[in-house]
């Protein structure tokens, strides 16, 4: 449908899963070299590790390949599960074996499983849900199908200079801490907590995303230096061993950035290094913020990693306790003309997809060579609850979406008839029957 963002590893697109009319985010990860393949496998492993769904996950680099999905991707990718990229075989199976305990799922079973996963939205309430994955060999990429969060990222709020009150700050901090507590309990360090990796929806839910560089650690310490430099902890910047509390420093900077409306540390490399390693950590100004919030940020930004509290301990901080019983803040976003136009485009794509399901990928040619659609033709009925979900995810009233779909269906039917008629007129002029 449209691009949501891009980075060094690939792009993220908004798409729709037509069987349930569910908006999803599709992350395309290019795996044209060993480092990118490893990052993608790490992300798949972390997402699988945090999922409550009954997925089988295997990863193989090199050799003859492994299990593989086999039944086709969620949104029409190859779904081979195993593809040769730059001479190395990548196998990433995220589906349970077929009947009898072995082999790939049938297309019908895989579709049913994916529908169930999306309907149940299984997984952590504080980490973006993982639904499916498939390969695109021609593009040299793997597509990860993830939960779509319809209010953007914390970075969007900072860039738009949206004022964030302390209740919202507490909601963000608590949600991220709960996600980190789950992650750390499974011996995973996220290593890239920053505003653009924390997503929001209109219901006030906050979730951690982007596990491309998350790492499982067998011991309490890790040493690899990856992630966004501005949000790295002092121990990481100084190339010292680090642990789970490194993520806490990053969260402290995220909260401070939201509170102040800007990053409290310099952007330039050496100025940042000097500020983090030689100066006192950033503080929120006295008088502008509550003492509880100032103390919470100060605890997160302790330069001594051993004195920095862990996620479980911070969840009992007075700043969070004082805001916990309040109603979760809703995020209201106005519906722009551009969004209305994209909604019409979305509904047209849904109708085209349905036509492809009925007549095949050459549906346009078939209709051009026929009399178009019979007047009695009806598009497959879409359940009302699926429309309600799409209306919620897109941020429009149910009746608005229903009316838009009805109008687009009439327009699509008319366009098909006109296309068929124009094709016949052209053939008649050429003397063809």
Residue ranges of the annotated binding site for ATP are 27
Owner of token pair 């507490």? 170
Element containing residue 141 per DSSP (H, E): strand 141-147
Give the whole-angstrom CA distance, residue 376 versus residue 23: 30
Catalytic pick from 59, 192, 210, 247?
192
Q: DSSP letters of 340-360?
A: HHHHHHHHHHHHHHHHHHHH-
How many C-beta atoms surround the C-beta of residue 53 within 10 A?
Answer: 18
Q: Which residues sit in the known binding site?
A: 27
β-sheet bridge partners, residue 13? 3, 26
Which of 174, 219, 214, 217 minimizes the C-alpha distance to 197?
214
Q: Are the C-beta atoms of residues 106 and 98 closer than 8 Å to each other?
A: yes
* Buried/exposed code over 26-37 (b: 16+ C-beta within 10 A; e: otherwise): bbbbbbeeeebb
Catalytic residue at 156?
no
Cβ-in-10-Å burial (0-12, 13-18, 19+) of 175 comes to: buried
Cβ-in-10-Å burial (0-12, 13-18, 19+) of 387 comes to: middle
Phi, psi of 133 (to 5 degrees): -150, 145
Q: DSSP letters of 326-340?
A: SPPPP------HHHH
Task: Indicate the DSSP class of residue 4.
Answer: E
Maximum Cα–Cα distance for the chain, whole Å? 86
Mind spelling out the 3-state secondary structure of 225-252?
CCCCHHHCCHHHHCCCCECCHHHHHHHH
Cβ-Cβ contacts under 8 Å for 100 (sequence gap 6 or more): none
Owner of token pair 């082999």? 103
How many C-beta atoms surround the C-beta of residue 429 within 10 A?
Answer: 8
Q: Which residues are catalytic?
A: 192
């Amino acid at each position: 449908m449209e691009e949501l963002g891009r980075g060094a590893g690939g792009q993220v697109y908004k798409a729709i899963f037509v069987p349930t009319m569910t908006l999803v985010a599709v992350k395309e990860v290019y795996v044209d070299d060993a480092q990118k393949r490893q990052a993608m496998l790490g992300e798949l492993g972390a997402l699988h590790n945090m999922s409550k769904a009954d997925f089988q996950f295997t990863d193989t680099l090199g050799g003859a390949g492994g299990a593989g999905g086999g039944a086709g991707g969620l949104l029409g990718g190859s779904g081979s599960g195993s593809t040769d990229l730059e001479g190395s075989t990548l196998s990433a199976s995220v589906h349970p074996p077929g009947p009898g305990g072995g082999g790939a799922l049938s297309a019908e079973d895989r579709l049913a499983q994916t529908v169930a996963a999306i309907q149940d939205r299984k997984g952590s309430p504080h980490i973006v849900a993982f639904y499916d994955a498939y390969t695109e060999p021609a593009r040299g990429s793997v597509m990860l199908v993830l939960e779509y969060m319809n209010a953007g990222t914390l970075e969007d709020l900072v860039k738009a200079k949206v004022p964030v009150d302390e209740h919202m700050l507490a909601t963000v901090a608590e949600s991220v801490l709960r996600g980190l507590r789950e992650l750390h309990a499974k011996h995973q360090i996220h290593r890239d907590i920053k505003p653009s990796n924390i997503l929001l929806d209109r219901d006030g839910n906050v979730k951690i995303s982007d596990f491309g560089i998350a790492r499982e650690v067998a011991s309490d310490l890790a040493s690899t230096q990856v992630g966004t430099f501005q949000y790295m902890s002092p121990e990481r910047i100084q190339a010292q061993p680090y642990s789970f509390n490194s993520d806490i420093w990053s969260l402290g900077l995220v909260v401070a950035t939201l509170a102040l409306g800007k990053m409290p540390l310099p952007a330039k490399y050496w100025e940042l290094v000097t500020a983090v390693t030689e100066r006192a950590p950033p503080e929120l100004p006295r008088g502008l913020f509550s003492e509880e919030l100032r103390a919470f940020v100060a605890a997160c930004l302790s330069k001594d990693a051993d004195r920095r509290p862990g996620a479980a301990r911070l969840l009992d901080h007075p700043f969070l306790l004082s805001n916990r019983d309040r109603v979760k803040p809703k995020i209201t976003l106005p519906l722009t003309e551009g969004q209305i136009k994209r909604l019409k485009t979305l509904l047209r794509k849904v109708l085209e997809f349905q036509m492809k399901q009925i007549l095949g990928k050459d549906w346009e040619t078939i209709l051009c060579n026929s009399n178009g659609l019979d007047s009695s033709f009806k598009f497959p009925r879409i359940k009302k609850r699926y429309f309600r979900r799409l209306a919620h995810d897109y941020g429009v009233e149910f009746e608005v979406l229903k009316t838009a779909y009805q109008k687009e269906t009439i327009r699509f039917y008319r366009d098909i008839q006109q296309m068929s008629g124009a094709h016949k007129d052209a053939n008649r002029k050429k003397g063809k029957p």
